[in-house]
Every structure is written in structure tokens, then in C-alpha cells.
Amino acid sequence: MIASLAHYDPLEKVEEVGPFEHDDPGHRADPTLPNLLATATNVVELSPHCGSELQGVQLTDLSNEGLDELALFTAQRGCVVLREQKYLGIGFEEQKRIASYFGPLHKHGWMPHPQNGPVEFVIVYDSREDLRIRKSWARKSPIQFHVDQSPESQPPGMTFFCMLESPQGSGGDTIISNMHQAFMRLSPSFRKRLEGLNAIHTTANPIMREIRDNGNLAVLRRPITKSIHPVVTVHPVTGQKALFVNSSYTQSIVGWDEEESDYMLKFLFDHINRGQDFACRVRYEPGTIVLWDQRITQHSQTLDYAPGDRRHAFRLTPLANKPIPSLVEDDDGECAKDEGRVLLSLC
């Protein structure tokens, strides 16, 4: 576990992964999931719209067919929880090999990696000896729903979050929310207005916070990353539409005045924050792995445990497809039907 302590090197640089062809493993999956569920003793839904816990399944025992099915199941359920996983003890190279089955691994611009460990690992280490996480959220709500690294031109898909040590008792859960549901909860005519729009995503704000908090010791491995992505995207495997703007990285809507863009983004971020009925909350213990598909979910940390309590985890973040825009469809009468329902309810 010591090998996984956070390492901060202000002089270190990394290269971005660069463009690549993404062939999503979920396309190859048998939809009845025979390989994934071969040893499963129980499948527990964490909430109706997001999250399932698979009991009796070891990630390290899955064949390629099992991993394909895991990709599909994660895309369908948003997130999958696996507990007491041997994966945490198999060493950096094997951990990387399994995670990179889903795509080339992202290299983070400012978060720490392990001491003498690969740059593809992101270490989350909150403890009495290392208060950088506490410091970075000192003047901002720690509840921020986001897609990890959405400013990448090919943002992450399947993501591995692996807990080594969690606070005694409770605390430090992750809240994961279904962005297909977030989109579908909007009125039909409102949804059609969002389709076809694009938004700017940038790492500028977190990089500024890193400099503000750590001065000469700030870790700045890569320049600011910026991309334009559709506001509504389509999952390449399930075909589900999802809201793809987030409060950590989305800066503005392309072509709109600043006031219009700020107003719309604030509404959408509030809408996502209120979505307790399409989210789930995952509690950790050492050995828990949570996999989430960033193309259909957003997530937020909770920082509800006592300052100084130790929470120690690592993340591996395979990159995936260039976000697919949701096409602006002809009005099929859905909007009028919706308005008609409102008129009837007024009678």
C-alpha cells in the first residue's frame, strides 16, 4: 500500500494520448451476460436508474468475453460495484493491462500518481499527512457532479475507482448519477432545443486552483486541455442520449452570449444536482472497485468524514470515443402532445 502513496513532482511532464480508433468492447458482448454472471451469487440494484452491485464476481477471473459483457452492463446500469477484489493486489502492470482492455489509459495533468509508479494511475490520498484534497475544496462545495477529464478530445468511458483504505465507520461515498435520465426528465421541446448545441470544456479552472493552492509545488504536467463537445451525446453501444455538460469543466455554450450560456448551464447543473431520484450512492470498504461509464453518468465525491481521516484510492481511466452528437430530430408530434397534456390539466 505504501507503494501507492501520492507522489507530487512539480517538474514532471506527460504527453497526451493523442487520437486513436476506439472499438468499444460493449459491441462484442453477449447481451445475456453469460460470462460475466457465471460465478455471480447475487445482482443487487442500488437504485432503479443507476448502479448495480455484482456479488461473487472477481474482475481478475473474467475472460475477454466477460470483460466485454462488463462494458455492456456498466453502460446499461451506469455503474457497477465489485467488492473484496483481488485486483487491488495484483501489481501495477497487471492492473494496467486489465484496465487498458477498455481503451488507452489517460495521463492526468495535475493529480498525483504513485511513488515510483506509472503515470496512468491517479492517486486519491486524503490524510493527516497530506491535506491537498481538503485544501483544494476549502473555498468551494465538494459536491460537484462531473465527468472525469471531459476536456479530452476523446474523453473517458469505462473508469476504475479502487479503494485501498476508507474512513472508519462511514464517509467518503461517491454519488453517481444517470445522465440519460437527467436528459429524459426534461420536457420534449426543451430536449429538442438542447440537441445540436455544442459546449466548450476546459481544464483551466482546476489548473488555476492547483497553482493557487500549491504555488511553486503545483503539479502541471500538461498544458490546459480544451475541446468542443455536443451538449447531448449518444452512447456508442446502447444508443442512449445523455446530457454531456458538467460543472467542473464545461465553460460555455458555443455561439451563445455569455449571459444566455451562464443561465442555461446553471439550470442544467442545478437539474443534475437535484436528481437524487436518478442517482445512487456507493459506500466503500477496502477492496471495493466501482466502475462507471462516463458517457452515461456523472459523479461527485462526498467529503463528509473528519479532516485527517484516511481515504486512499486509485483510479485508472481508459479513454474512449469522440463524443457522438445527438441529432436534431424532426418533431414527431411529441412536443405538441406534451403541450396538449398541459392544456388538458388546466381545464
303-338 per-residue burial string, b: 16 or more CB within 10 A, e: under 16:
bebeeebbbbbbbbbbbbbbbbbbeeeeeeeeeeee
Site for Fe ion in 147-166 (CB under 5 A): 148
Any long-range contacts for 338-345 (C-beta under 8 Å, 24+ apart)?
338/187, 338/188, 338/189, 339/189
Phi and psi angles of residue 221, each rounded to the nearest 5 degrees, phi first? -80, -25
C-alpha cell at 46: 442500488
CB of 33 to Fe ion, least distance (A): 27
Nearer of residues 36 and 102 to Fe ion, judged by Cβ? 102
CB of 303 to Fe ion, least distance (A): 13
* Degrees to nearest 5, angle at CA 175 with 192 and 55: 110
On the 0-12 / 13-18 / 19+ scale of CB atoms within 10 A, 48 is: exposed
CB of 108 to Fe ion, least distance (A): 11
Nearer of residues 115 and 144 to Fe ion, judged by Cβ? 144
Site for Fe ion in 121-150 (CB under 5 A): 148
CA distance 279 to 170: 19
Site for Fe ion in 63-82 (CB under 5 A): none
CB of 315 to Fe ion, least distance (A): 8
CB of 280 to Fe ion, least distance (A): 15
Nearer of residues 241 and 299 to Fe ion, judged by Cβ? 299
Number of residues that bind Fe ion (CB under 5 A): 1
Residue 143 to residues 60, 110, 190, 243, Cα–Cα distance (Å): 32, 20, 26, 18
**173: contact with Fe ion by CB under 5 A:** no
Phi and psi angles of residue 109, each rounded to the nearest 5 degrees, phi first? -85, -25
Nearer of residues 233 and 301 to Fe ion, judged by Cβ? 301
Nearer of residues 247 and 252 to Fe ion, judged by Cβ? 247
Nearest Cα neighbor of 220 from 202, 232, 230, 208 is 208
Nearer of residues 70 and 122 to Fe ion, judged by Cβ? 122
* Coil, strand or helix at 103: coil
Site for Fe ion in 25-54 (CB under 5 A): none
CB of 106 to Fe ion, least distance (A): 12
CB of 246 to Fe ion, least distance (A): 10
CB of 208 to Fe ion, least distance (A): 18
Nearer of residues 148 and 165 to Fe ion, judged by Cβ? 148
Residue nearest to Fe ion (CB): 148
DSSP state for residue 249 in the 8-state scheme: T
CB of 190 to Fe ion, least distance (A): 27
Pairing relation of β-strands 198-202 and 250-253? antiparallel
Nearer of residues 69 and 152 to Fe ion, judged by Cβ? 152
Nearer of residues 192 and 311 to Fe ion, judged by Cβ? 311
* Half-sphere CA count of 95, side-chain side, radius 13 A: 24
Contact 197, 228 (CB under 8 A): no
CA distance 188 to 232: 13
Q: Where does this chain bind Fe ion (CB under 5 A)?
A: 148
